[in-house]
Structure 1
Amino acid sequence: MGDHEIELRQDVVIKRYGSTGHDQPEREWRALELLHAYVPGLAPAPVSAEPDADPPTVVMSRLAGAAVRGPIGGHMADALAGAVTRVQHAIPRPVLERVPARAGHPVELLRQVRTWSATVHPDGDPAVADVLGQAASWVEQPRLEELLARPGTPVFGTGDGNLANYLWDGTDVRVIDFEYSGRSDRAFELAEVIEHISVWRDGPAGMTAVLERLDLTAEEAGRLTECRRLLALYWLLRTRGDTRADQAKRMSALL
């Protein structure tokens, strides 16, 4: 499970952190306390925290359900859209304003992706090479940094769009994993969920049904388009082989 260790017990989960460069234990504990206060039951309840232990440790309640799998539609899409929305909007604005920004800002990601894009090798696939060329032109546009630097609709962000962080029990969806969480903007958080590589591995429609259930302002919709392209390119640059070819098709469709 990355650079942390998970111990599952009957009623609690014990998480031990191998990396703390982004204040992961503190971020997770803060998120659990806030969500438990404002939307109890949506995320694990906080039990105890030892941020100064070696390794730092957070204990939380264990939730029912299994990671979302397969095509997303029907009641599952309703529940997933509801869970994403509740996490983002649960915390009152005055409280949210005091929450530290999530780990990783859109402009930071843009600069990282620009660096990778300038040095990537297409691996001999003409179709992938063509998409990488189009994406390289898109990502270098000066207006992108200007757009992403502007504040979007403020929300609480989980900081991780992995589909494995959404637990489905057949009736409802609950959310786990808040290591990189913090104050964010709605479009960037939605893009991170919608374009996460795990989503597209699970079904060809991805989170289309979830997106259809979300009400966006015109400004949020425009920002979401560019954030989705950025996240899709991020994953394109990180993948290889057949996965890269599939991701290139995603990137092409978004461009």
Structure 2
Amino acid sequence: MADLQHTHELTYEGDRVVKRYQDSKPGAAEREWRALRLLAEHAPGLAPEPIAFEGGAVTMSRIPGVPLRGLVAGGKHVSAMAEALAELHAAVPGRVLRGVPVRPWQREALVDWVRKRCAGWEPREPLADRVVKEGLRWLESWSPGEAGVREVFGAGDGNLANFLWDGTRVRIVDFEDSGRSDLAFELAELAEHVSMWVDGEVEIAHRFELSPQEERRTRECRKVHALVWFFLLSHEHPRNPPGTFRRQVERVLATLGA
């Protein structure tokens, strides 16, 4: 949910990056620092190296690479991205992961957020209004339970720009919303992020071996993430091509019907 908000400032100092968080994002710097330290210990090379943490500012190493958003993400890029994600998800041992706080914006928070947006929706045009009506109906019936939950360490942000291609492998940056999560939820967030389809569809979820229960959970979690993006994109953003909201309306209706 940080995608359309300015939450930090970046300063580049040679081979270092200083990330200074704003007070409007409580806990973000601590989550970033925790993630970098965990990954430095359990998956060295996957993310920037932690250097210093002071006063809401995280200093880390600067890693090479070009963001996948903006590239024509071909098969080798997506394969490398899937490998990086698999490494991230499995990096933190279970005994350690159990002590990691749950990442922000998990299912319950998203559901509450979407319900509030549905309640405040001003009628606009038939298809968009239909999304709100059908989305609210689906939310009222959604009871995901615990089937298909495989705990993982999640980055908490599916933006394609956070995956850097160095010509050989993909590394990951931006952990301000990271924490303990589950695989289906993380894959669903990634798959529905606007950056994964607005410039050309990047399909990632099918590259992971999921149980039937995890596949069902992923499909259901994609619905709530699609609804989140419906509201986030309801006001066209200059970052995205004209007509992005209309495309999202169609995506949500297709997802809800899946």
Q: TM-score of the superposition, structure 1-length normalised?
A: 0.89
Distance in 1 between residues matched to 2:206 and 2:146, nearest whole Å:
26
Correspondent of 1:187 among 168, 173, 184: 184
Q: Which residue in the other structure is 1:243 paired with? A: 244
4+ runs deviating over 4 angstroms: 148-151
Correspondence 1:31-180 to 2 at 5 A = 31-50=35-54, 53=55, 56-68=56-68, 69-124=70-125, 126-141=126-141, 144=142, 146-147=143-144, 152-180=149-177
> Aligned to 1:216, what secondary structure does the other structure show?
coil
Distance in 2 between residues matched to 1:86 and 1:32, nearest whole Å:
14
Shift of 1:148: 5.6
Shift of 1:26: 1.1
- Contact preservation (8 Å) 2:147, 2:214: no
Letter in 2 for 1:181: S
Distance in 1 between residues matched to 2:13 and 2:97, nearest whole Å:
32
Shift of 1:166: 0.8
Identity of aligned residues (%): 41
Distance in 2 between residues matched to 1:151 and 1:219, nearest whole Å:
4
Distance in 1 between residues matched to 2:172 and 2:60, nearest whole Å:
13
Correspondent of 1:27 among 19, 28, 31: 31
- Contact preservation (8 Å) 1:114, 1:136: yes
Distance in 2 between residues matched to 1:201 and 1:137, nearest whole Å:
27
Gaps of 5+ in 1: none
Report which of the two has the higher share of helix: 1
* 1:83-109: CA deviation from partner (whole Å, max 9, x where unpaired): 111111111100101111111221111
Distance in 1 between residues matched to 2:112 and 2:147, nearest whole Å:
15
2:5 equivalent to 1:8: no
Distance in 2 between residues matched to 1:176 and 1:134, nearest whole Å:
35
Q: Which residue in the other structure is 2:240 paired with? A: none
Shift of 1:122: 4.3
- Contact preservation (8 Å) 2:32, 2:177: yes
Q: TM-score of the superposition, structure 2-length normalised?
A: 0.88
Shift of 1:151: 8.0
Q: Which residue in the other structure is 2:217 paired with? A: 223
Shift of 1:189: 1.0
Distance in 2 between residues matched to 1:171 and 1:98, nearest whole Å:
33
Distance in 2 between residues matched to 1:21 and 1:11, nearest whole Å:
26
Shift of 1:232: 0.5
